[in-house]
Amino acid sequence: QVHLVESGGGSVQAGGSLRLACEHSGYSRNSKRVTWFRQAPGKEREGVATIITASGGTLYAASVKGRFTISRDNAKMTVYLQMNSLKPEDTAMYYCAADLPPYDGAWYEWDEYDTWGQGIQVTVSS
């Protein structure tokens, strides 16, 4: 059974850092696309960053590029999101989602993903 479990959220002041982790298990294939999304109250779900676990290829939303880094540890079946220089507008519920190849749709389209974690809160205060 496929599972995604997020950890590492919390509260931090603006300019601070947090690292989120997404443990992905139960997949029969080694390669998958794992993406971090976020959703703030009253806003649409937004793709933040994505990684292909086999190749390590990454893509980022413009709003986080240069501040956030997505990475993976395949031995631990975990994908990380290192978030630096956090801003109040980064406050949201963060979700990881996974997709198996072929990757037909855009990485930032939330309805491309079949499996989601439970979500974890990130709060950045000014």
Measured CA to CA, the distance from residue 91 to residue 101 in angstroms comes to: 31
Measured CA to CA, the distance from residue 126 to residue 117 in angstroms comes to: 28
Q: What pLDDT score does 27 carry?
A: 80
Q: What pLDDT score does 1 carry?
A: 75
Q: What pLDDT score does 104 carry?
A: 85
Q: What pLDDT score does 24 carry?
A: 93
Q: Quick count: other Cβ atoms within 10 Å of Cβ 24?
A: 22
Helix H or strand E segment including 97: strand 92-99
H runs (alpha helix) in the chain: none
Burial (Cβ within 10 Å: 0-12, 13-18, ≥19) of residue 116: middle
The ranges of the chain with pLDDT < 70 are none
